[in-house]
A = this chain, B = another copy of it.
Amino acid sequence: MAAQSDSSSSEAGSYQGSTNRDAGHATRRIAQWVAATTWRDVPMVVRHEAKRALINYVAVALAGCTDPTVDKAVRTYQRFSAGLSAGVIGRRERVDMLNAAALNAISANVFDFDDTHIPTIIHPSAPVAAALFALAQTQPISGEALLLAFVLGVEVECRIGKAVSPEHYQRGWHITSTCGVFGAAAAVAKALGLSAQQLVWALGNASAQAGGLVETLGTMSKSLSVGNAARNGLLSALLAADDFSGPDAPLEGTRGFVRVAATAPKLDALTDGLGHEWALLSNTYKPYPCGVVLNPVIDACLDLRRDARWRLDDIERVELTGHPLLRERTDRPNARTGREAQVSAQHAVAVTLATGLAGLAQFSDDAVAEPSLRAFGARLRFIDAAAFPLEAAEVALVLRSGDRVSRRIDAARGSLAAPLADVELAAKLRELAAYGGWGVAPQPLIDTLWRFDSETDAATLMQLACVN
């Protein structure tokens, strides 16, 4: 992709002109760009999206912070914590910054309720934000500096993800973990003010630590790799600050990460449009704690429930029309756990039609155990329609009376075409604070994040997010 002629005149702009000149030095060019980019180089719309992403991050961390996975991780990680400098969102415990980075990334991702970068399906914010806020609790960083580092970390993470997508995830690598460590490393390196050479080393140190398997999804093990992404990214940058050195081309080298992680990597994705195209503008936030393909289904069911002139018993069957992938991913009539219910169309349809709600409580182990919901799921019929995009679906209720009511959703809430509004993100934070973050007042968090670029001490956010 050619550099655009209206490039900014900032220092960072100088790297935009060389996009195709030396594709063999992607790591160095990324490092130089990260080192040189300032807050002035970040467009307003990207700055605002960074705040939205952080609101969503804090929201989902509050939701997850009391999950049994987090309880167990806290118990063991506390044994290996040097000091009490950093907090765990929504909890009383204090740990060192490496463990805080790990635990807060785990909380934010444990339900897969965190954000989704559409081109890669990376959950980008958890590893990057958790690492940065842990650092901010041990040395002074302004809100603006943290936001800038966050924007750049997410950019690096998602560009690496694009370079290895879709093969990498399809092969079985948990892309949020494998790419997250680079994002956290780049972000912390930026926040520490490292040189371009040190940034190359930080990415090299991260390359040695990238890991995580799709096989672990739905189990506690998954959380280890997500926590490691934040922890080891932070560690990679701290080591690079001490000139702990790595390879020259940890990304594009012959056996660098993107070549090892994909047989046909898209090397151009690493640097094309750097400084012009921003990964955060392809970021989305889930309205419901479910697999993203269920979003339009739940939208339709909630909409039908709102005007309901029927009771659940009046419904003879439900016809669900959508892309074949919807059926393939969510035809799960016998979900036994909340985790399984999050990818079960049967449960999602039954519980939203029955309750008019689609929050974490509706996708809990308890909700799944409800016999009437389990029975209702048998009334669901899938109708494949390849012409439907993934963010669309139609739900038709065929009543015993013979009547038929239906809703078609073309762009689900939370998709790029119908993003959650700012007020909806704030509401999500309030709702999830009530769900999992007992003792944390949500409004000060929301107020602080909307004006975070004028916050002098980024650690303020953590003081508000943790329980005293």
The answer to whether A208 and B212 touch (CB under 8 A), given A246-B220, A250-B221, A260-B172, is yes
Would you call A239 an interface residue if the criterion is a C-beta within 8 Å of the partner chain's C-beta atoms? yes
Would you call A113 an interface residue if the criterion is a C-beta within 8 Å of the partner chain's C-beta atoms? no
The answer to whether A72 and B239 touch (CB under 8 A), given A80-B98, A82-B80, A246-B216, is yes
- The answer to whether B76 and A215 have CB atoms under 8 Å apart is no
- The answer to whether B76 and A214 have CB atoms under 8 Å apart is no
Interface string of A168-196 (1 = CB under 8 A from B): 00011110011000000000000000000
- The answer to whether A208 and B204 have CB atoms under 8 Å apart is no
Would you call A19 an interface residue if the criterion is a C-beta within 8 Å of the partner chain's C-beta atoms? no
- The answer to whether A221 and B242 have CB atoms under 8 Å apart is no
Q: What are the residues of chain B within 8 A of A239 when measuring CB–CB?
A: 72-73, 76, 220, 224
Interface string of A351-363 (1 = CB under 8 A from B): 0000000000000
- The answer to whether A244 and B212 have CB atoms under 8 Å apart is no
Would you call A254 an interface residue if the criterion is a C-beta within 8 Å of the partner chain's C-beta atoms? yes
Complex CA gap A232/B235 in Å reads 14
Greatest chain B CB density within 10 A among A81, A96, A213 is at A213
Q: What are the residues of chain B within 8 A of A209 when measuring CB–CB?
A: 211-212, 224-225, 228
- The answer to whether A172 and B255 have CB atoms under 8 Å apart is yes
- The answer to whether B221 and A207 have CB atoms under 8 Å apart is yes
Q: What are the residues of chain B within 8 A of A247 when measuring CB–CB?
A: 215-216, 218-219, 221
Q: What are the residues of chain B within 8 A of A216 when measuring CB–CB?
A: 204, 207-208, 246-247, 250
- The answer to whether A255 and B207 have CB atoms under 8 Å apart is no
Q: What are the residues of chain B within 8 A of A81 when measuring CB–CB?
A: 82
Docked complex: A310-328 residues within 8 A CB-CB of B: none
Q: What are the residues of chain B within 8 A of A225 when measuring CB–CB?
A: 208-209
Interface string of A224-235 (1 = CB under 8 A from B): 110010001001
Would you call A135 an interface residue if the criterion is a C-beta within 8 Å of the partner chain's C-beta atoms? no
The answer to whether A73 and B221 touch (CB under 8 A), given A215-B249, A216-B207, is no
- The answer to whether B80 and A257 have CB atoms under 8 Å apart is no
Identify the closest chain B residue to A212 (Cβ). B208
Would you call A75 an interface residue if the criterion is a C-beta within 8 Å of the partner chain's C-beta atoms? yes
- The answer to whether B82 and A79 have CB atoms under 8 Å apart is yes
- The answer to whether B204 and A221 have CB atoms under 8 Å apart is yes
Q: What are the residues of chain B within 8 A of A246 when measuring CB–CB?
A: 216, 219-221
Would you call A238 an interface residue if the criterion is a C-beta within 8 Å of the partner chain's C-beta atoms? yes
- The answer to whether A208 and B235 have CB atoms under 8 Å apart is no
Would you call A150 an interface residue if the criterion is a C-beta within 8 Å of the partner chain's C-beta atoms? no
Would you call A91 an interface residue if the criterion is a C-beta within 8 Å of the partner chain's C-beta atoms? no
Q: What are the residues of chain B within 8 A of A111 when measuring CB–CB?
A: none
- The answer to whether B80 and A215 have CB atoms under 8 Å apart is no
The answer to whether A256 and B205 touch (CB under 8 A), given A76-B242, A239-B76, is no
Would you call A166 an interface residue if the criterion is a C-beta within 8 Å of the partner chain's C-beta atoms? no
Chain B: minimal CB distance from A110 (Å): 13
Would you call A291 an interface residue if the criterion is a C-beta within 8 Å of the partner chain's C-beta atoms? no
Would you call A259 an interface residue if the criterion is a C-beta within 8 Å of the partner chain's C-beta atoms? yes
Would you call A253 an interface residue if the criterion is a C-beta within 8 Å of the partner chain's C-beta atoms? yes
Would you call A282 an interface residue if the criterion is a C-beta within 8 Å of the partner chain's C-beta atoms? no
Would you call A376 an interface residue if the criterion is a C-beta within 8 Å of the partner chain's C-beta atoms? no
Which single member of B97, B173, B245, B255 contacts A219 (CB below 8 Å)? B245
Beyond contacts A82-B96, A221-B244: 19 other A-B pairs, Cβ-Cβ < 8 A, are A72-B242, A76-B242, A76-B244, A80-B96, A82-B82, A205-B220, A207-B215, A207-B216, A207-B221, A208-B212, A208-B221, A208-B225, A209-B225, A210-B211, A210-B213, A215-B247, A216-B250, A219-B246, A221-B247
Q: Provide 14 A-B residue pairs closer than 8 Å at the C-beta atoms, listed in order of the A residue.
A: A76-B244, A172-B254, A172-B255, A208-B211, A208-B212, A208-B213, A208-B221, A208-B224, A211-B211, A213-B257, A215-B257, A219-B246, A220-B244, A221-B245
